[in-house]
């Protein structure tokens, strides 16, 4: 799609309405701080009748439990049983962790 037509498409959608019942939220590779923000967006969308699928990476943070049946969260993990990456826990289904600059990079 040519981007010069994007404003026209936006105007048409606002005039005639656009229906987006299903919403997909994909988190960046590691996004501990984004989880809470995008979760609140997902909850608001669910309250407005949307079905929301969230794909995010496993990490060591503890987040509030999602109670809406309209929100489905899929958590992905990477294999790091050999400890190749210091920013992941050393296990088969590794989680992202906060990296200590002093110990891991200096």
pLDDT in tens, 42-88: 999 999 899 999 998 888 877 778 889 999 999 888 899 999 988 88
Structural domain boundaries, residue 48:
18-98
Let me know if residue 94 belongs to a domain: yes
72 Cα distance to chain centroid: 11
> Considering the domain boundaries, does residue 4 fall inside one?
no
Considering the domain boundaries, does residue 47 fall inside one?
yes
Convert the pLDDT of each residue in 1-50 to its tens digit: 566 777 777 777 666 666 678 989 888 776 667 788 888 889 999 998 99
- CA 39, CA 42: separation in Å to the nearest integer? 5
CB 43 within 8 A of CB 68: yes
Q: What pLDDT, on the 0 to 100 scale, is given for residue 17?
A: 62
Query: Into how many domains does the chain fold?
Result: 1
Distance of CA 65 to the CA centre of its chain: 15
pLDDT of residue 2: 61
* Cα distances (angstroms) measured from residue 31 to each of 3, 53, 67: 29, 16, 21
Q: Mapping DSSP to helix (H, G, I), strand (E, B) and coil, where does residue 18 land?
A: coil
């Amino acid at each position: 799609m040519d981007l010069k037509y994007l404003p026209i498409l936006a105007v048409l959608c606002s005039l005639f309405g656009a229906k987006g019942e299903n919403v997909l939220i994909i988190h960046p590779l590691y996004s501990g701080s984004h989880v809470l923000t995008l979760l609140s967006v997902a909850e608001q969308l669910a309250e407005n009748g949307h079905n929301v699928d969230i794909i995010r990476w496993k990490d060591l943070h503890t987040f509030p439990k999602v109670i809406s049946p309209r929100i489905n969260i899929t958590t992905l993990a990477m294999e790091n049983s050999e400890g190749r990456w210091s920013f992941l826990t050393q296990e088969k289904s590794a989680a992202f962790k906060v990296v200590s600059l002093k110990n891991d990079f200096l």
